[in-house]
Chain A
Amino acid sequence: MTHASMARKYEARKVTPKEERQATSAMIASLAAEGYETVNAPFGHALVNLARTDARIVGLTADLGKYTDLHILGQAMPDRFYQMGMAEQLLMSAAAGMAREGCIPFATTYAVFASRRAYDFIAMAIAEENLPVKICCALPGLTTGYGPSHQATEDLAIFRGLPNMTLIDPCDADDLMGMVPQIAAHNGPVYTRLLRGKVPSVLTRHKPDYKFQLGKAQMIREGRDVLVISTGFMTMRALDAATALAKDGVDVAVLHCPTIKPLDVETIAAEAAKGGRLVVTAENHTKVGGLGEAVATTLLTRGITPTFRMIGLPDEFLEAGALPTLHDMYGLSVTKVAEQIRGWV
C-alpha cells in the first residue's frame, strides 16, 4: 500500500463522527439479524450426536478447537479429539492418514489457513485419493473485521478447481445441523464453511419444513419479479431484503444453494428459465470464481439468458473494521442488498 492511499484511509477515518464509529468484533453472532433465534455451537453438537452413533468419527484441529466449535467434541468425547497444534499442513496430512485407516476425520481450522496454507496437502493427500476427510472452516468470506489475514474471500474459488471436492456454504444453524451427518455419509472429501458460536436459525423460520439436502438447491421463498440464487449467510440477507422489497411491490424469490459443488444445475436452470425474472446471485465471496460465475456458466451453456446480476465481494483485499460497517461498505448488508436489487429492477 502506498503512503498516499494510507493517508487517504486515515483522513477518511478522522472524519467519521466518533459516535458513529463501531468496534471491531470477531464474533459471528453479530451477523444475526434481529428477530432470529440462535442455536449455540450447532456444528459441535451435531458432530457429537453423530460421533455417539458412529465410531469412525474423529475430530482434528490446528489450535482452533474453541474457534470452530470442535471443542464441544473434545469435551464430550476426549478420545475422539486430536489437538494437532498450530500446523495446518500436518492437520491435513494426518487427517488423510487417519482416513486411510478407516476413520472419518473432521478437520477444522480457519478458511484462510485451509485454503491458502494447506492447499497442496488437501489436493494431494486428500482429494487426489478421494479420501473421506471433512474440512470444516470458520471465518468464511467477510465474517471478521480483522482484515485479509483472516478473511477467506477466495476459498470457494480455490477449491472449486479441485477435482473430487464437494463444497458447501451453509446459511445457518439449520444447515449446519442437517449437513453434518450427510457429509459424513458422503464417500469423499468435503470442504464446508462454518458458522460458530451463537448461530441464527433462519431457514426453518421462513420455510418450516426446510431440511438441508447435500447437492440440492431449494426454493425458500417464491416471487414473480426477481430470482435470487444465494449461498451461505447471504441467503439470510436475501430473505430479509426480500421482505423489505415486498413493501415496495417487488416480489423476490430466493433459491438457497448451500452446495456449491457439485452445483444443482437442474434446479438452477429450471428456475432461471421461468421467464421474466431478473436473476441475481448473492454470495459472501469474491465475485471471481464463486457461485455467481458457476451459475452464469450453468445458464449460458444451456442457452438460458435472463438479465443477470451478481452480488458479492470485490476483487480486492478488504478493509479491517466493524463487521456491520464492512457489510455496508461491500454490499452484503440487508440494506445494500435491497438497494442493489431495487436499482436493477
Chain B
Amino acid sequence: MTTETRPAALSNVSLARRAWNIRRKSLLMGEVQGQGYIGQALGIADVLATSYFHAMSHRPDDPEWEGRDRFLLSIGHYAIALYAVLMEAGILPEEELETYGMDDSRMPMSGMASYTPGMEITGGSLGQGLGIAVGMAMGLKRKENPAFIYNLMSDGELGEGSTWEAVMSAVQWKLDNLICLVDFNNQQADGPTRDALAQGDEEKKWAAFGWHAQRVDGNDLDAVVAAFDEARNTDHPGPRVIIFDTRMCKGVPFLETREITHFVRVEADEWAKALDVLEEGKPA
C-alpha cells in the first residue's frame, strides 16, 4: 500500500473525531431540510468513519481512481450520511452542505451515481446493491485489480430475495474481494425488522452460505476497526460480511431515547438542541 492511496489514514485526526464530524455534518444537513434520515446517519457514522479513514484506499482528488476500493450505498436513503463522509474525506466540498436535498443540488435525498462524485451506484431500490457488488467484484477479478468492493446495506434488505441470490453467487465465484456491511438497527419502514421477515440468527445464516461472518457493536469503534481488519486480512477463500448492531440516533441522547422509527421526527427547534448535545460529546 503506497502512502498516497490512504491519505486520510495518515491524518492525526482520530476516528472518533471523524465519526463525530460525520454526525455533526449530518445534523447540519438535516437542519437545512428540516428532515432527513438522521437516525440512520447517526447510527452508521462509526462504520463510515472506519471505512473511509481506516479501511479503504481512495484518492479524494480523484474519486474515479482505478485503484480505489469501491463503496456501494445500496440503501439510497442513507445518502445524508454518505454525503457527510464524502465531505469529511474531501471528495465533496463542505460548502455544498447547505444545498442538501435542494433544487440543483448534487446531493439529492436518495443517493444517485449520476449526481454525486464518490457515489458509485444508484441505490434506493432496495436489494440491488449486493448483486451489483457481485458483478463489480467479478469485473475487478477479470482485470486482476486487487481493490475491495464494500456494499453497505440495511437489515431490511435482508428480506429481498435478490439479496440471497447475490449471497449465493458471491460464494459460487469465491469473491474474496467483496465485503458486505449490514447495518442492523432492527428498524425498517413499518417497524422492527425481526417482526417483519426474520432470518433467525443472521450471522449463522450468512456463515452457512459460506461467507466469513462477523457480528459486532457498530457503535464501538475499536470493535468496528478490528472487524474491518479481520474482513480484509482473513485468508477465507470467499466473501466477507460484517453485521453491525447499531443504535439509531447514536450521539444525541434525547433522540436515542425517543420512540425509534424509520423516519425519526425532529421538531424545528430541536436541530440546534441536537447540535448542542452533540457538542458536549465532542472527542479530541
Contact = CB atoms under 8 A, between A and B. Distances in A.
Are chains A and B native binding partners rather than an unrelated pairing? yes
A97 B136 contact: yes
Given A87-B169, A89-B161, A96 B142 contact: no
Interface string B137-171: 11110110100000000000000011001101100
A124 B166 CA distance: 16
A82 B122 CA distance: 24
Interface stretch (A13-21, A99-107, A212-220, A328-336): A99-107
Nearest to A103: B139
Query: Which of A90, A98, A123 has the most chain B CB within a 10 Å cutoff?
Result: A90
A101 B140 contact: yes
B113 interface: yes
Contacts of B127: 89
Nearest to B136: A97
Contact of B131 (A93, A99, A128): A93
B165 A89 contact: yes
Interface residues of A, number: 27
A125 interface: yes
Residue among B125, B131, B139, B172 with max Cβ neighbours from chain A (10 Å): B131
Contact of B169 (A85, A100, A105, A124): A85
Contacts of A98: 135-136, 138-139, 142
Given A90-B131, A125-B132, A101 B165 contact: no
A121 interface: yes
B128 interface: yes
Interface of A is mostly: helix
B134 A89 contact: no
Nearest to B72: A97
A93 B142 contact: no
Q: Which of B135, B169, B172 has the most CB of A within 10 A?
A: B135
Contacts of B87: none
Nearest to A82: B138
Contacts of A92: 131
Q: How large is the interface on B (under 10, 10 to 19, 20 to 34, 35 or more residues)?
A: 20 to 34
Contact of B132 (A58, A87, A97): A97
A225 interface: no
Interface in A110-134: 120-121, 123-125, 128-129
A142 B172 CA distance: 35
Contacts of B135: 93-101, 105
A84 interface: yes
A102 B143 CA distance: 9
Contacts of B199: none
B133 interface: yes
Contact of A102 (B112, B137, B139, B165): B139
B128 A121 contact: yes
B234 interface: no
A121 B136 contact: no
Interface in B90-129: 112-114, 120-122, 124-125, 127-128
Contacts of A103: 139, 142
Contacts of B122: 124-125, 128-129
Most buried by B among A85, A89, A121: A89
A125 B128 contact: yes
Contact of A90 (B112, B137, B145, B169): B169
A124 B128 contact: yes
Given A85-B172, A90-B165, A97 B137 contact: yes
B165 A87 contact: yes
Contacts of B138: 82, 94, 97-98, 101
A154 to B, nearest CB: 22
A94 B69 CA distance: 18
A84 B122 CA distance: 22
Interface string B168-212: 110010000000000000000000000000000000000000000
Contacts of A101: 135-136, 138-140, 142-143, 145
B172 A90 contact: no
10 contacts: A84-B169, A87-B165, A89-B161, A89-B165, A93-B135, A94-B138, A97-B136, A98-B138, A101-B135, A101-B139
Interface of B: 112-114, 120-122, 124-125, 127-128, 130-140, 142-143, 145, 161-162, 165-166, 168-169, 172
Q: Which 10 A-B pairs have the closest CB atoms?
A: A97-B135, A101-B139, A93-B131, A94-B135, A90-B165, A87-B165, A97-B136, A89-B162, A97-B132, A98-B135
Given A82-B138, A93-B128, A120-B128, 14 more contacts: A89-B127, A93-B166, A94-B138, A97-B131, A97-B132, A100-B120, A100-B121, A101-B135, A101-B138, A101-B139, A121-B128, A124-B125, A125-B131, A129-B122
Interface of A: 58, 82, 84-85, 87, 89-90, 92-103, 105, 120-121, 123-125, 128-129
